[in-house]
Structure 1
């Protein structure tokens, strides 16, 4: 199991998430970010807007995901 924070995965806070795979942790952080945005959290709204700006094409989105996947893969297991 590996642990990363919301901010390490492109978010706005230091809440920790633990999972065995990148896909699992990405899903957890995505749900967390959506919840925070729905609650009106300004920092998460800004982080989401910045993420959207950087994903101007499918290639850019794939590059961003690959960067986060590599970060997960290089994180030491708990």
Structure 2
């Protein structure tokens, strides 16, 4: 298992996600983002707007995702 925070994944808080794979942790982050969107959390909405900007350029989004995947892979295993 590895851990990443919401902020490490482009979000706005220090909530910790824990998963075996990057795809799993990305899914947890997306679910959290949906919950924060539903609550109209200002900090998370601002972070989502930044992500929407990245999504406008497929290459930029791919580069960002590749970087986050590499960051996840480089993390030590947690207990």
TM-score > 0.5, shorter chain as reference = yes
- Which runs of structure 1 show a deviation greater than 6 angstroms over 4 or more consecutive aligned residues? none
Most deviating of 66-75 and 52-61: 52-61
Extract unaligned runs of 5+ from structure 2. Answer: none
SS in 2 for 1:4: strand
Instruction: Quote the RMSD (CA, aligned, Å).
Output: 0.8
- What is the CA–CA distance in structure 1 between the aligned matches of 2:10 and 2:77, rounded to whole Å? 20
Task: Report the counterpart of residue 14 of structure 2 in structure 1.
Answer: 14
SS in 2 for 1:14: coil
TM-score (ref. length: structure 2): 0.94
- What is the CA–CA distance in structure 2 between the aligned matches of 1:23 and 1:54, rounded to whole Å? 19
TM-score (ref. length: structure 1): 0.95
Q: How many pairs align?
A: 78
Extract unaligned runs of 5+ from structure 1. Answer: none
- What is the CA–CA distance in structure 1 between the aligned matches of 2:38 and 2:71, rounded to whole Å? 27
